[in-house]
């Protein structure tokens, strides 16, 4: 699948008229959870290719809405497949490729006693402040709602209870913004805005390193939700945009993503 998409991207690059000089910056829109790895990928690409990259990070749903509304963009890296597919379906972009995988974890504050075995009880506890991102605007919120549905399958009524109590603290237009020098999730836990926050495991690991006593809790297998990340290149983009997309999909780009905790969607060519 991914090798076929590589061929498609390469073919589109060869056929597409370049919109700018080789020195024009490629415009990359990317999910906020990709800030660490794609910043590193972009710098590696700039060193190898000589083409600068300008990155706009944000909630994938909000970025999709901006692009659909006419905002200039070339490469879109989303925390789900739905948002880039909507752009492809509306003929605004080319094919969509799955380029990384993540999963949901619980980030717990230092005062909360919680384990994988007890995390559902803690989530349902009226005294525990449960934070999530904003569904629709941010795929992380959609994935959290899927966790709620899976809990409801074994504990009927849980979905309604969790939906009511969940504090949608990030991802929406009015959600908390990431501080310039740290994780927004670490800041939320440190301020006690939430005792427990459902977010990507990669985000939770970064936040836990910033807040003394904070911890990352794996969700039980029965309610574990994975996150598939999709990549697409907008129509009439520069050749540099296609080269950046190919670089993200390359063994070097995938190695950087893996170093930041993302799961690769393919093995490098030649690896058994």
pLDDT in tens, 127-161: 999 999 999 999 999 999 999 999 999 999 999 99
Flag whether pLDDT at 172 surpasses 60. Answer: yes
Work out the average pLDDT over 155-173: 94
Banded pLDDT at 182 (limits 50, 70, 90): confident
**The pLDDT value given to residue 176:** 62
Banded pLDDT at 171 (limits 50, 70, 90): confident
Flag whether pLDDT at 19 surpasses 50. Answer: no
Backbone angles phi, psi at 134, to 5 degrees: -95, 115
Flag whether pLDDT at 55 surpasses 70. Answer: yes
pLDDT in tens, 83-105: 999 999 999 999 999 999 999 99
- Residue intervals of the chain classified under CATH 3.40.190.10 are 2-101+226-259, 103-223
Distance CA 207, CA 267 (A): 29
**The pLDDT value given to residue 8:** 54
The answer to whether 58 and 81 have CB atoms below 8 angstroms apart is no
**The pLDDT value given to residue 58:** 93
Residue percentage of the chain with pLDDT more than 90: 83
In this structure, which topology does domain 2-101+226-259 adopt according to CATH?
D-Maltodextrin-Binding Protein; domain 2 (3.40.190)
Flag whether pLDDT at 207 surpasses 90. Answer: yes
Distance CA 167, CA 193 (A): 9
Distance CA 130, CA 226 (A): 20
User: In angstroms, how far apart are the furthest CA atoms of the chain?
Assistant: 59
What is the torsional sign of CA 1, 224, 200, 74? positive
Work out the average pLDDT over 245-268: 87
Looking at per-residue pLDDT, the higher value among 211 and 14 belongs to: 211
Average pLDDT score, the chain:
90
Residue 17 in 3-state DSSP?
coil
Banded pLDDT at 270 (limits 50, 70, 90): very low
Distance CA 217, CA 266 (A): 27
Chain centroid offset of residue 160 CA: 26
The answer to whether 173 and 138 have CB atoms below 8 angstroms apart is no
Work out the average pLDDT over 5-27: 59
- Considering only CA atoms, give the Rg of the chain: 19
Distance CA 5, CA 7 (A): 5
Flag whether pLDDT at 271 surpasses 50. Answer: no
Work out the average pLDDT over 72-81: 97
Flag whether pLDDT at 64 surpasses 70. Answer: yes
CATH architecture for residues 103-223: 3-Layer(aba) Sandwich (3.40)
Residue whose entry in the numeric block shows the structure tokens 């506890």: 125
Work out the average pLDDT over 33-58: 96
Flag whether pLDDT at 44 surpasses 50. Answer: yes
Flag whether pLDDT at 12 surpasses 60. Answer: no
């Amino acid at each position: 699948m991914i090798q076929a998409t590589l061929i498609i991207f390469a073919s589109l690059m060869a056929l597409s008229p370049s919109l700018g000089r080789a020195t024009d910056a490629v415009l990359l829109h990317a999910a906020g959870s990709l800030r660490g790895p794609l910043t590193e990928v972009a710098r590696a690409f700039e060193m190898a290719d000589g083409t600068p990259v300008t990155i706009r990070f944000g909630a994938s749903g909000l970025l999709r809405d901006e692009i659909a509304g006419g905002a200039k963009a070339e490469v879109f890296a989303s925390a789900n497949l739905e948002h880039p597919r909507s752009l492809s379906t509306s003929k605004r972009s080319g094919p969509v490729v799955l380029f990384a995988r993540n999963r949901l974890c619980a980030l717990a504050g230092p005062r909360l006693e919680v384990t994988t075995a007890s995390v559902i009880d803690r989530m349902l506890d009226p005294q525990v402040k449960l934070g999530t991102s904003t569904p629709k605007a941010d795929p992380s919120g959609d994935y959290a709602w899927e966790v709620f549905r899976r809990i409801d399958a074994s504990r009927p009524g849980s979905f309604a209870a969790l939906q009511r109590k969940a504090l949608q603290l990030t991802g929406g237009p009015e959600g908390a913004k990431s501080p310039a020098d740290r994780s927004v999730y670490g800041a939320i836990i440190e301020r006690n805005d939430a005792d427990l926050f459902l977010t990507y495991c990669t985000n939770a690991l970064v936040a836990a390193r910033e807040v003394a006593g904070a911890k990352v809790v794996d969700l039980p297998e029965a309610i574990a939700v994975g996150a598939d990340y999709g990549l697409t290149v907008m129509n009439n983009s520069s050749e540099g945009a296609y080269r950046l997309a190919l670089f993200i999909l390359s063994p070097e780009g995938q190695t950087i993503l893996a170093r930041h905790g993302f799961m690769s969607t393919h093995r490098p060519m030649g690896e058994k």
